[in-house]
């Protein structure tokens, strides 16, 4: 993991990830995010709306927010190129999230384990989104 010049995002507990529908309508979702390689990453279900929106456009934005998605006052909006990754790359992103969030992630991962074994995502590949901030 390399250091990034985007300390506001590095230090945010939640980030509003905005992806775009085919119509161009923005859809914001608060996510846990961690520095990953020369950008950021977060985990996602491979069948989620975020994943479906990324199938037609890689355009996205991120901005610091709270757990409810309320933008932090004065937070910078960062334009990004987003890509959906699966399997081993997604596991690497998950590990970066686990490292940043520590015990909180471990507690949360218990519910993920049950969801992966018994929920709708049973048998689906692990997925994540990798973000590269663009000028």
User: What proportion of the chain, given as a percentage, has pLDDT over 70?
Assistant: 82
Number of domains composing the chain = 1
The confidence band for 2, taking pLDDT boundaries of 50, 70 and 90, is: very low
Six-digit token pair at 6? 């985007």
The confidence band for 103, taking pLDDT boundaries of 50, 70 and 90, is: confident
Q: Give CA 110 to chain center in angstroms.
A: 19
Inside any domain, residue 122: yes
What is the CATH number for 116? 2.30.110.10
d(CA 80, CA 6): 13
Residue 126 belongs to domain spanning: 7-133
Inside any domain, residue 57: yes
Residue recorded with tokens 């989620």? 48
Q: Where are the alpha helices (DSSP H) in 1-135?
A: 7-10, 49-54, 87-118
Residue 10 above 70 pLDDT? yes
Inside any domain, residue 1: no
Inside any domain, residue 2: no
**pTM value?**
0.85
Taking only the tens place, the pLDDT of each residue in 47-84 is 899 999 999 999 999 999 999 999 999 999 999 999 99
Q: Pairing state of beta strands 26-31 and 34-36?
A: unpaired
């Amino acid at each position: 993991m390399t250091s990034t010049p985007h300390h506001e995002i590095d230090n945010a507990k939640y980030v509003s990830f905005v992806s775009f529908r085919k119509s161009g309508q923005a859809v914001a979702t608060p996510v846990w995010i961690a520095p990953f390689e020369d950008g950021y990453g977060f985990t996602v279900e491979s069948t989620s709306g975020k994943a479906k929106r990324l199938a037609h456009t890689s355009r996205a934005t991120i901005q610091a927010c709270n757990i409810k998605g309320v933008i932090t006052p004065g937070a910078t909006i960062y334009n990004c190129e987003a890509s959906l990754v699966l399997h081993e790359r997604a596991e690497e992103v998950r590990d970066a999230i686990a490292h940043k969030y520590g015990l909180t992630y471990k507690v949360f991962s218990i519910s993920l384990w049950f969801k992966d074994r018994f929920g709708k995502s049973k048998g689906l590949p692990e997925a994540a989104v990798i973000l590269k901030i663009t000028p």
